[in-house]
Structure formats: structure tokens, C-alpha cells
């Protein structure tokens, strides 16, 4: 199969009330990495689901090596030499890594699963990608990034000719991304066809040879030579307008202490942490994956018990025994893994947005409540530009990025004094990022202390007034906006031997 290209011929896909794709035609060549780009809801995942046999196209056909192929099921697609790594992971948390990797083709001896062979085979599959993961570990004990690596290893184990990645790096650390890039380059050099979906520009320019842009389910254009394409051209093509400065930073006056943290210790923290976030301030926490930032956030949101230290909110002592205490005090945490921790798949978009605020409005009458909820859902859908046919659509039918935005909308619907945002723009397209940054600025301008954890250097430098850096469970430095640059931040973030 090596040397054969993949063609999409006039592919269309309709869902009830939604035309997800119409008349998509382009070719992806062997020995090249072909990016698919477009805003949240543009239709990228839908196309990959058709390729993976999960959906049937409403119109058009696929060709591999000039021959028409029709995949009626995932098994058909696998049999046709295709591997798709979907945006939503399809792994079983209760099983081990090896069982997940070899599901469906476990090595057997005398009718029994051969555990030894299974572990050996799993280890081979993980080589170079995730050597540190043990095949016998329960999948549920792995981080989101590690699970993503398992999904990738699983797809690669099939030795497919066409391999499609749907936002594979959304929860990977910089080091894991490097490893994945090396592997993708090898697969490309072996003459396979690679499709790559990501909202991260640096990755597109780093690894891709060609890029096809979609907008609202339609084909816009294909750039065959990345070297002739600039970052701005690509953004303009995707969003349909120029975005000059997505951060649009405006200095604000701070108005006294909001959250004061003194000597805080707890799970995941190696040294006591002290800092103060001010009303109207956007405070960033930068660090590498595993630096302890998410753990710190969990302590501040009452999700984990602290071992030592004291908190003050607006000058008053604060004790957090549970997340309820934090929410009641006005400290909200919008978690990193928003979907896993937050989504109610069968409920409507409106319901998903209003769930958190509902508890705060129990005193309102039913009618008033219903009206407030309808207005609030409309408001969030508009403010975050959530692409949905209606507020009543079940959220599971929204694109990945639009689900993320709806969950963000839930947190923005609740009264707050301090907002803890963990990786606020993961999986979100460039246009929508600019909108989210605007929202963060407006919250701060209204006196809220916004604390942002992000692994995206440009984002941290772009939106924050001040940046605290963490490494290995400890604070390693503080930089004012003017002092922050890439090398300083990275220097502070890298693990070091502390005396």
C-alpha cells in the first residue's frame, strides 16, 4: 500500500438539523503530513470519523490509491489499512495498559491469555513513545497525557497505511510532544499518509507538509507548500478575518488583596507556597506538566485537604473543608479536564451551562429561574460563540471545542471573587481564544482575581499581569509582566537539583 494517496471526493455529512460537511474534496499524499485546520465545529472530527468508519457519509466517497473504498464500520476501516486516533479517547480505565493496547487480539496459549507475551508485546508498542509507562499499570491511574499516548500506541500497533490524529497533543507535555513528533516523522518517511488535526500553530508549522482549511463544514483551500505560508495567512484563512493581537492586553489597576495564601502545603506540593492574588489582577502560573500547579488549584478549590498553611479571602480568614465551601466563598475552579470532570453528555447545552449557577438561585421562583436560565444560556452561547443548532441540543453532539466552551460558560455563570482557570484554551480555536482572553480581561476589569494555569508560554506572557513559576511542587520564581520572557520562564520551570 505504500505510495498510495488518500482522496476525499465530494464528501458530505448531515445530522438532524446540522450540515456538518458539504462537498469536501482534496487529496493527501503518501510520505507527507497533511493538516486539517478550521474553527471549532468546522467539521474536522466528522471527516476523520467517516474515515474511521464510525460515520457513513451522506454524499461522496473515499479513495485509497485510486480505488474507491467504503467503510461501513470501524472494523472495515482498520481492515482497509486505516488507523484513526479520535479526539475522545476510547479506552477502558478499569483495565491495564497492556489489556487496553491489545484489546481484541490478546496473545493466547492453550486457550488462556498469555500474560507474559502480552506484557512483552505492550512494552514493544510503547517503546520510544512512553517507555516509562508499565504495561501492568491500571489505565485509570495514568494522567490524561499518558492515556493519549496509549491511544496513539494502540493505533500505531496496526501498522496502518493511513494514520489520522485528531488533536493528539491536547494534553501532552512538551517532552511527550517531541516524542510524538519524532514518531510521526518516521511514519511519514516510511511513505504513509498522515492526517493531523490541531489548533496549535507551532505544531502545524513544525510537522506538516500541507494544510487544508475548512470553514463551517466547507472546503476553503489547500496549501501544498507550508514554506510559502505565513502564520497570519493561515489564521485569516481559517477565521475569515485578521486577528491582529489575540491577547489584546490592557493594563488594569489592582484594588487590594483578593486571595492571600500563606505557607500552604498539601498533596503534590514539596515546599510551602505563599502568594497573594489581587482584585482585578490576572495572575499566571507557569510550569511544566507535573510542576504541581493543578494540585495547588485543587487545594485552593477545596478539592484536596491542605496539611498546613492559611488562606485569607478579601482580608478574612477562610477555611475550606470541601468544594462547596470554596464555591460559597466565591472561589471557582474551572478544571483542566473540563469534559471528564464537568460534562453531562445527555443533558442539553443550556442545562450544562446552568447546572452550577442553579444552586445559587434556589431562592428564585420557578418562573423567574426558568427565564434567568434561558437568558443566561443565550448569553454564554453568544459570548463564547458556541456553535450549536439550539440551546436545547444535547451537548454530546457538539464538537470537542464547543463542549469545552460550554463548560467554561458554566463557570462564568456563577458569582465569583476568584476564578481559577486550568488551561483555559486547550482545544479551542484561535478565533475563540481571542474571545476567551477578552472575557478574562473583562472579569479582571470588574475586580475579580483571575488565576490562570497554562503550559502555553505565549498565552501566559500574553494575558497575565504577573507570573509565578512552579517546578517540582515548589514556587521557583515570580516575574512581573515586563520581566517575563521565554528563557527566564523556562529556566525557572525546568527541574533542578535543589540544595
Residues making contact with ligand ATP (CB under 6 A): 15, 18, 20, 38, 40-46, 87, 387, 397-402, 429
- Provide, rounded to whole angstroms, the least separation between the CB of residue 199 and Mg ion: 9
Helix axes 366-383, 400-412, angle to 10 degrees: 130
| Nearer CB in complex with ligand ATP: 96/399 | 399
Output the CA torsion 98→71→26→225 (10° steps): 20
HSE-CB for 419 with a 13 A CA cutoff: 27
| Nearer CB in complex with ligand ATP: 78/406 | 406
| Nearer CB in complex with Mg ion: 38/391 | 38
| Nearer CB in complex with Mg ion: 91/130 | 91
DSSP string, 143-189: -HHHHHHHHHHHHHTT--SEEEEESTTTT--HHHHHHHHHHHHHHHH
Strands laid side by side in the 418-422 sheet:
331-334, 418-422, 449-454, 282-286, 466-471, 474-480
- Provide, rounded to whole angstroms, the least separation between the CB of residue 27 and ligand ATP: 20
For residue 457, the SS3 value is helix
- Provide, rounded to whole angstroms, the least separation between the CB of residue 66 and ligand ATP: 27
For residue 45, state whether it binds Mg ion (rule: CB under 5 A). Answer: yes
- Provide, rounded to whole angstroms, the least separation between the CB of residue 41 and ligand ATP: 4
d(C-alpha 348, C-alpha 331), whole Å: 26
d(C-alpha 118, C-alpha 305), whole Å: 39
For residue 43, state whether it binds Mg ion (rule: CB under 5 A). Answer: no
* Residue 398 binds: one of Mg ion, ligand ATP, none (C-beta under 5 to 8 A by kind): ligand ATP
For residue 424, state whether it binds Mg ion (rule: CB under 5 A). Answer: no
State the residue number with the nearest CB to ligand ATP: 401
| Nearer CB in complex with ligand ATP: 170/306 | 170
**Residues pairing with 473 in the sheet:** none
* Residue 387 binds: one of ligand ATP, Mg ion, none (C-beta under 5 to 8 A by kind): ligand ATP
For residue 170, state whether it binds Mg ion (rule: CB under 5 A). Answer: no
CB 471 within 8 A of CB 492: yes
| Nearer CB in complex with Mg ion: 88/378 | 88
- Provide, rounded to whole angstroms, the least separation between the CB of residue 423 and ligand ATP: 15
Grid cell of 213 as nine digits: 482549511
Under the rule (CB under 5 A), what is the footprint of Mg ion?
A: 45, 87, 399-400
Amino acid at each position: 500500500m505504500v505510495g498510495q494517496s488518500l482522496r476525499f471526493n465530494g464528501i458530505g455529512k448531515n445530522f438532524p438539523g446540522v450540515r456538518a460537511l458539504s462537498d469536501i474534496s482534496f487529496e493527501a499524499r503518501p510520505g507527507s503530513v497533511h493538516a486539517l485546520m478550521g474553527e471549532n465545529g468546522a467539521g474536522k472530527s466528522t471527516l476523520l470519523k467517516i474515515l474511521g468508519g464510525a460515520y457513513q457519509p451522506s454524499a461522496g466517497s473515499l479513495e485509497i490509491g485510486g480505488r474507491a473504498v467504503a467503510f461501513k464500520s470501524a472494523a472495515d476501516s482498520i481492515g482497509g489499512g486505516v488507523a484513526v486516533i479520535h479526539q475522545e479517547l476510547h479506552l477502558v480505565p478499569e483495565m491495564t495498559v497492556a489489556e487496553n493496547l491489545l484489546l481484541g487480539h490478546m496473545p493466547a496459549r492453550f486457550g488462556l491469555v498469555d500474560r507474559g507475551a502480552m506484557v512483552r508485546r505492550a512494552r514493544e508498542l510503547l517503546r520510544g513513545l512512553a517507555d516509562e509507562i508499565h504495561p501492568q499499570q491500571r489505565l485509570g491511574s495514568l494522567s490524561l497525557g499518558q492515556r493519549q499516548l496509549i491511544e496513539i500506541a494502540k493505533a500505531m500497533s496496526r501498522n496502518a497505511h493511513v494514520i489520522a490524529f485528531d488533536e493528539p497533543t491536547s494534553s501532552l507535555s512538551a517532552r511527550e510532544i517531541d516524542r510524538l513528533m519524532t514518531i510521526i516523522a518516521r511514519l511519514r518517511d516510511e511513505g504513509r499518509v498522515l492526517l493531523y488535526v490541531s489548533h496549535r500553530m507551532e505544531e502545524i508549522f513544525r510537522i506538516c507538509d500541507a494544510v487544508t482549511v475548512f470553514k463551517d463544514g466547507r472546503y476553503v483551500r489547500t496549501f501544498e507548500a507550508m514554506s510559502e505560508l505565513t502564520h497570519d495567512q493561515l489564521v485569516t484563512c481559517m477565521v475569515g478575518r485578521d486577528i491582529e493581537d489575540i491577547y489584546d492586553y490592557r493594563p488594569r489597576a489592582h484594588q487590594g488583596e483578593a486571595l492571600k495564601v500563606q505557607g500552604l502545603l498539601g498533596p503534590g506540593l514539596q515546599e510551602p507556597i505563599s502568594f497573594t492574588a489581587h482584585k482585578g489582577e490576572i495572575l499566571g502560573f507557569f510550569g511544566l506538566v507535573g510542576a504541581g500547579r493543578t494540585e495547588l488549584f485543587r487545594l485552593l478549590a477545596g478539592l484536596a485537604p491542605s496539611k498546613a498553611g492559611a488562606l485569607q479571602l478579601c482580608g478574612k480568614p477562610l477555611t475550606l473543608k470541601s468544594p462547596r465551601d470554596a464555591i460559597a466563598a466565591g472561589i471557582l475552579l474551572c478544571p483542566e479536564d473540563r469534559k471528564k470532570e464537568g460534562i453531562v453528555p445527555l443533558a442539553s447545552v443550556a442545562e450544562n451551562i446552568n447546572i452550577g449557577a442553579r444552586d445559587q438561585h434556589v431562592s428564585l421562583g420557578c418562573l423567574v429561574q426558568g427565564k434567568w436560565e434561558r437568558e443566561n444560556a443565550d448569553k454564554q452561547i453568544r459570548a463564547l460563540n458556541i456553535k450549536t443548532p439550539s440551546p436545547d441540543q444535547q451537548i454530546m453532539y457538539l464538537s470537542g471545542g464547543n463542549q469545552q466552551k460550554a463548560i467554561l460558560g458554566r463557570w462564568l455563570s456563577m458569582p465569583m471573587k476568584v476564578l481559577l482557570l486550568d488551561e483555559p484554551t486547550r482545544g479551542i480555536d484561535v478565533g475563540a481564544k481571542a474571545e476567551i482572553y477578552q472575557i478574562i480581561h473583562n472579569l479582571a476589569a470588574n475586580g475579580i482575581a483571575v488565576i490562570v494555569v497554562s503550559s502555553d508560554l505565549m498565552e501566559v506572557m500574553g494575558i497575565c499581569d504577573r507570573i509565578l513559576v512552579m517546578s517540582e511542587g515548589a514556587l521557583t520564581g515570580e516575574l512581573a509582566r515586563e520581566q517575563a520572557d521565554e528563557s527566564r520562564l523556562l529556566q525557572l520551570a525546568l527541574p533542578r537539583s535543589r540544595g
